[in-house]
């Protein structure tokens, strides 16, 4: 009921703050018999982790994952899987100046008003550091979905600021630190980010996540439509401000004829719907777009108040991504994997043989 | 776990098909002591119901609601509230032709593949008829939120096809059958819909929902962020394809300076964030946008297959809205009310005095 | 989260008061393709309903069930099933005297203190009338479990007051109005109840419920052990005060050797454990015992207070069972069926093929 | 949905096996502002931990708890609390002999049939070792309930084998290793257990748990009655076979007059109901009894089969409690605390000011 769990059958519960000793998660509902080891998870964590490119936060975390329960002889036992990731590179001094200030567009203000207390060493639970456990849990889901159903979940950066990056190739995505599929845009992005960093500003971004080979029938009627559940899980990622399925926002100006995916004996003639009809997967690619706001921590002074309500100016120093949307790619892939995994199991429960 | 419930403390569970005898819902978690009668609910149902304007479906349903439990002497008792709405104007013959056909962009295909059976008399649970119970449940939430917190939830049509309808006035919204706030656009919309109906085509739309006076502190960290929960509930409405909070999709091109809502002693200087920071309400207006795809039932022939997999052409007759996005306004208001109500109670549980 | 739902995948939600127009329930998670009609449910409702024997309440309710959604052409569609039962024989005048009095051992006092309001026409939600919907939902579960797994759930009265009724035959159970399996005890019970009714007193009882052919593997580790979930569902029946699995309370004085069910190549040598080991079904009969307190409404004057806190005497008139434990048999069967059904689906989700 | 979580608002999720590196738990829903440190938890863990008396298992675990999230400057922040306890004294060789054998009355057989895999190093998740995290979570609940409502939860051994131990004094309970409140029975118990250990046998027990100062109004109608929820949580403890509220099993032979707790201006005249009426707390002491089966691991040879289905004899060596019911006292206290805590928060959600 409180907010630190997601999923109904495949259920992920997390804890840990950006400046505490570690992050941890309990992943419940993993079917028994899945081959799983630390490496399976580490691969995905490495895609998300900071400090390995000069275009992301310089906080250097190895994000070394340790599975400490739920596995016996390399195989899942069907019981709850415990994972943890230690925090290594904590510099609390970075944050001491903002102890009594609310950083605009951060969660400082709302957390303190809600709870009456705030871990001012960093973002606490509202920090993007928390997403490391999501990626770890998503890696388990990804592996299961791949092995059992050949489902493949991949994402790419589709827009950063005013630079649009139409899809070109999946190979390219893993070759650059921006998850950009379009080799022609890389230079432009590098130039843009360098300029941004210099000015102390940040920028928003849009990403696209695609799931292939999703079986027909995932999603529940009415409130737990697959699109609603995906919207929930993707929108729960830090900084997410929009979520679209298929043609998304563009449907507002389409006519029925334009939007219609005709049905042919060998499948659908188009995929405006993004692979979901009536809230249930139709076997086509599931296509999700999400926009992320610019990093809130910037070095350009802004107005704020302190905890006593007095006017102040603030500059947020520290080691921040100039564009949090970039690293949102592996996180959003993980969230989509978690949601699809949950629905694969829910499908088995009600409609399985 | 199956999909017919929403909410954790304020919990709405529904049943009923478009062509069955009635729709019903059980609303659990309503605090005791709330004055409530059929009229409170009827008002909202009347805003949603079909057949009262020539611009919406001509199915004539009175949508007369009956509360049959949970109320004693006009006051909620704290126990589960039962509501029902009878279906009056059913014409199953309208649908007999499409018994063995999958209507493109409808749920026919996915329901039949998922469940192995489909109620071909109509949309069954996937029909927008189901949303009447949502509106009824939302009316209860709206009343509670208004009385207890002076929260006001309102919506308007912000785009239909290529006609953009910037906000003008709340008074105007209730004066026309389009929930359009902008009096200058009404003629244009009327002209456009008339043309559409004549051609047998349909169109998408975008709506905006705003909640005012929302207290600071609603929403839970990490997975149950208020934005994630709103995304879930709005995206669960039939035909929804995108959901945005605040500046939404536009954040992708904003810089940190542009997006930043500075904090002043008397509140925020702007509301790019749409009233939510770190997943928690910040006291500003909560602003939600959603796009709805064009009505799938159109009279322009399209390709499909029958249940035997053979090529066929289809025209979907019957009494359909040319633009389902219009009537989505009261439905989305209801869903936002349900989600806020749930979070008001969740807040009380953990942080209440 | 409020209390009117049970189950996670097979989920039953109910509403309706003893003196309102009807009782209703929404049963979600029923797999598609199950043949189901009103008769399947009516059979079980008739076993529970009052007014058909002089040894139970004289309130005459037909308890005619109506399924109004979730079924198409006699087959479940996989969507939520709506059921309702009208209240026919309401006599509110029976209760007017006790409007301002708290009936001892009833829920009057606690409901009013909790909610600040009480439906004094009758027990409201705390009335055993509410259990009719449980029996209806249980009938659906029973049918599914029988057809899919040949699971058979039956119960009998094992004790009433000081009369112990050791098991004799299942045939006998349906032949007498006491669900007594032991023909030799019938006369004694009749004599005892007649005397009780004359004196205006009531009595407690103990019942035994047995599930046969339960597959190995139902139940989840740690908190959702099958025994814990059964304890929850049976203890949620009005007037239940104890629940035992297998040897139950007698294990306190057993030694390890005495309690041990040895394992032989063809099964277990005994069933002290009542069919559950480590919280998971082991394929043996699941054996559950439950004790129910005497009916609280008795005609022998007792001390109480009125709603102003003043000393009063009370006699509870009306049409009450002299022993609520008797009719608990079909209710407890239903609750066990609901719990097993939920776990059959949970098993499929995580461990199904 | 899988079984490793309990609670709806105060929610405890656990992982970790008896022979893995550690046990861990995530406790979500703790209100912010509670002073909390390791010592608060350690006190309760020490009451449960093995190896500190010759009458319990000789496995020597320090059970040193570490809170690693959710606390800032000694105060709960309202976010999820992570705790862990390392396993120190693991001797896997103790178990190697039984790798291919099913230990009677253990979970070996059911886990292997359910999951197709079993952690044969020990009980895995079915081991009582898992309960350490329950006690830790319960300690947090206990502290909150004590500080906010002055609720006091205590338990004692009421029966071991044929030795009945009527309540005498709470002071005595903490003075002996049996949680026995009755000083006159200690010698008899010591003598009995010594004899048992010598013979290699084990014995069952019954315990009583009492909660004082519970406010009126906890518990939800119908399915989530307080007694049902308590039954669930206590019955989820390893080896529990019965649960009773108030007069429990004895109500079967009581008459209405005998069982009736009359209401006087200053409270109830008696407490046969055990503090719960209509599923809601009435302000009296909540009284719970539970029976635990004898330890399954005994040194007296018994028949079993191996994983190939062949007849075998088994002796379970290792370091086991001769009576698991003894250490069930602090565990059951913890479970009752967890359930009451959850309901205190649920009450606030729906009926709080």
What per-residue confidence (pLDDT) applies to C238?
96
Share of chain D above pLDDT 70, in %: 97
pLDDT in the model for residue D89: 79
- pLDDT (0 to 100) of residue C303: 97
Closest-CA distance, A115 to chain D, in angstroms, reads: 6
Amino acid B271: pLDDT: 98
CA gap C94, C167 in Å, rounded = 38
Of the candidates A202, A219, A224, the beta carbon closest to that of B255 is on A202
Residue of A nearest to B116 (CA): A351
Long-range own/partner contacts, residues C86-91 (CB < 8 A, 24 or more apart): C86/C21, C86/C22, C87/C16, C87/C18, C87/C19, C87/C20, C87/C21, C87/C22, C87/C23, C87/C61, C87/C129, C88/C60, C88/C61, C88/C62, C89/C51, C89/C59, C89/C60, C89/C61, C90/C18, C90/C19, C90/C121, C90/C122, C91/C319
Kindly state whether A23 is in contact with chain B, defined as any CB-CB distance less than 8 angstroms.
Answer: no
Residue B316 confidence (pLDDT): 84
- Searching chain A, which residue's CA lies closest to the CA of residue C11? A350
Could you tell me the pLDDT band of residue D98, with boundaries at 50, 70 and 90?
confident
On whether any CB of chain A is under 8 Å from the CB of D251, the answer is: no
Which pair of tokens denotes residue B172?
A: 């105007």
Residue of A nearest to C342 (CA): A349
Chain D nearest-CA residue for B148: D353
Whether the pLDDT of residue C59 is over 80: the answer is no
**How far is the CA of C39 from the CAs of A180, A350, C64, in angstroms?**
61, 24, 10
Q: Give the C-alpha separation, A248 to A174, whole Å.
A: 26
pLDDT tens, residue by residue, A96-128:
777 889 999 999 999 999 999 988 887 889 999
Look up the CATH superfamily of C5-351.
Answer: Chorismate synthase AroC (3.60.150.10)
* Predicted local confidence at residue A94, as pLDDT: 60
- The tokens describing A247, both together, are 């043609």
For every residue of A93-149, DSSP letters joined together read GGGGGGTTBPPTTSSHHHHHHHHS---TTS-GGGSGGGHHHHHHHHHHHHHHHHHHH
Chain A: give the shortest CA distance to residue B83, in Å. 17
Instruction: Check residue D99 and give its pLDDT.
Output: 84
Tell me the binding residues of C for FMN. 125-127, 238-239, 278, 293-297, 319
pLDDT of residue A287: 98
* HEC secondary structure over C28-71: ECCCCCCECCHHHHHHHHHHHCCCCCCCCCCCCCCCCEEEEECE
- C252 and chain A in contact, CB less than 8 A: no
Distance CA A124, CA A293 (A): 19
Under DSSP, is residue B328 helix (H, G, I), strand (E, B) or coil?
A: helix
Residue D169 has pLDDT above 70, yes or no: yes
Query: pLDDT tens for residues A6-27?
Result: 999 999 999 999 989 999 999 9
- Predicted confidence at residue A95, as pLDDT, reads 66
Per-residue model confidence (pLDDT) at position D240: 98
Task: Using a pLDDT cut of 90, give the percent of chain C over it.
Answer: 86
Give the predicted TM-score (pTM) of the model: 0.97
Is the pLDDT higher at C60 or at C167? C167
In this prediction, does ipTM exceed 0.95? yes
Q: In what order do the strands lie in the sheet with A65-69?
A: A5-6, A11-15, A22-28, A81-86, A65-69
Average pLDDT over residues A297-315: 94
The DSSP call for residue D294 is P
pLDDT in tens, C307-342: 999 999 998 877 788 999 999 999 999 999 999 999
Give me the architecture of the D91-351 domain, per CATH.
4-Layer Sandwich (3.60)
Q: Which chains contact C through at least 3 pairs of Cβ atoms less than 8 Å apart?
A: A, B, D
Are D1 and C14 inside 8 Å of each other by CB? no
Q: Is B206 helix (H, G, I), strand (E, B) or coil?
A: strand
Q: Does A2 touch chain C (CB under 8 A)?
A: no
Distance separating the N- and C-terminal Cα atoms of chain C: 31
Asked if C280 has any chain D CB less than 8 Å from its own CB, the reply is yes
Angle between helices C131-149 and C38-48 (to 10 degrees): 120
- Residue B94 has what pLDDT? 60
Say whether residue D351 is in contact with chain B using an 8 A CB cutoff.
yes
pLDDT score of D60: 79
> Is A79 touching D (CB cutoff 8 A)?
yes
Band (pLDDT 50/70/90 cuts) for residue C95 is low
Residues of chain B short of pLDDT 70, as ranges, are 1, 51-52, 92-95, 353
- Average pLDDT score over residue span D334-353: 95
Higher pLDDT pick, D14 / B94? D14
User: Does D42 contact C at CB distance below 8 Å?
Assistant: no
Chain C residue with the nearest C-alpha to that of D350:
C2
Q: Which of B10, B350, B351 to mutate to test the interface with D (most CBs of D within 10 A)?
A: B350
Helices B324-351, D324-351: axis angle to 10 degrees equals 130
Percent of chain A exceeding pLDDT 70 equals: 97
Is the pLDDT at D214 greater than 80, yes or no?
yes
Residue A300 pLDDT more than 90? yes
Confidence band (pLDDT; 50, 70, 90) for A2?
confident
Report yes or no: A236 and B279 within 8 Å, Cβ to Cβ.
Answer: yes
* Domain coordinates in residue numbering, chain A: 5-351
Contact assessment for residue A137 and residue A334, using Cβ atoms and an 8 Å cutoff: yes
Q: Report the pLDDT averaged over residues C109-124.
A: 90
Residue A318 has pLDDT above 90, yes or no: no
Interface test with B, best of D70, D278, D350, D353 (most B CBs within 10 A): D350
Interchain pair C249, D291: CB under 8 A = yes
Q: Are D349 and B346 within 8 A, CB to CB?
A: yes
| Mean pLDDT value across residues A258-284 | 97
- Whole-number pLDDT of residue D321: 87
**A26 interfacial to chain D (CB closer than 8 Å):** yes
Q: Residue B301 gets which letter from DSSP?
A: -
Does C252 sit within 8 Å of D204, measured CB to CB? yes
pLDDT given for residue A208 in this prediction: 98
State residue C56's pLDDT score: 76
Closest by CA to B323, choosing from B155, B210, B197, is B197
* pLDDT surpassing 70 at residue D92: no
pLDDT of C180 over the 90 cut: yes
Task: Summarize the annotated binding site of C for NADP(+) as residue ranges.
Answer: 48
Listed by number, the residues of chain C in 204-233 with a beta carbon closer than 8 Å to a beta carbon of chain D are: 204-206, 216-217, 219-225, 227-233
B4 touching chain C per CB within 8 A: yes
Average pLDDT of chain D is: 94
pLDDT tens across A43-83, in order? 999 998 876 677 777 777 889 999 999 999 999 999 999 99
Q: Half-sphere exposure (CA, 13 Å, Cβ side) for C91? A: 11
Distance between D213 CA and the closest CA of chain B, angstroms: 19
């Amino acid at each position: 009921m409180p907010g630190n769990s997601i999923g109904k059958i495949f259920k992920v519960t997390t804890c840990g703050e950006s400046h505490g000793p570690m992050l941890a998660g309990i992943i419940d509902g993993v079917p028994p018999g899945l081959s799983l080891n630390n490496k399976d998870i580490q691969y995905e964590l490495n895609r998300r982790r900071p400090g390995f490119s000069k275009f992301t936060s310089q906080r250097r975390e190895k994000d070394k994952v340790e599975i400490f329960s739920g596995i016996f002889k390399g195989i899942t036992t069907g019981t709850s899987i415990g994972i943890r990731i230690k925090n290594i590179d904590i510099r609390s001094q970075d944050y001491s100046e903002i102890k009594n200030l609310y950083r605009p567009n951060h969660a400082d203000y709302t957390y303190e008003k809600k709870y009456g207390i705030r871990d001012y060493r960093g973002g606490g639970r509202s920090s993007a550091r928390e997403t490391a456990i999501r990626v770890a849990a998503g890696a388990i889901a990804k592996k299961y979905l791949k092995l059992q159903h050949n489902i493949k979940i991949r994402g790419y950066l589709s827009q950063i600021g005013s630079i649009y990056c139409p899809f070109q190739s999946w190979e390219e995505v893993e070759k650059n630190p921006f998850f950009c599929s379009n080799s022609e845009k890389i230079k432009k992005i590098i130039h843009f980010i360098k300029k941004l960093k210099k000015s102390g500003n940040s920028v928003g971004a849009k990403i696209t996540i695609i799931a292939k080979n999703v079986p027909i029938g995932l999603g529940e009627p009415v409130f737990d439509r697959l699109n609603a559940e995906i919207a929930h899980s993707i929108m729960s990622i830090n900084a997410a401000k929009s979520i679209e399925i298929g043609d998304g926002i563009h449907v507002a100006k389409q006519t029925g004829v334009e939007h219609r995916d005709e049905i042919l004996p060998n499948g659908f003639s188009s995929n405006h719907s993004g692979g979901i009809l009536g809230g249930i997967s139709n076997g086509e690619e599931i296509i999700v777009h999400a926009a992320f706001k610019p990093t809130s921590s910037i070095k350009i002074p802004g107005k704020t108040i302190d905890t006593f309500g007095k006017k102040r100016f603030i500059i947020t120093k520290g080691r921040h991504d100039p564009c949090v949307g970039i690293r949102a790619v592996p996180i959003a892939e993980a969230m989509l994997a978690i949601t699809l995994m949950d629905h694969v199991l829910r499908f088995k429960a009600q409609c399985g043989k």
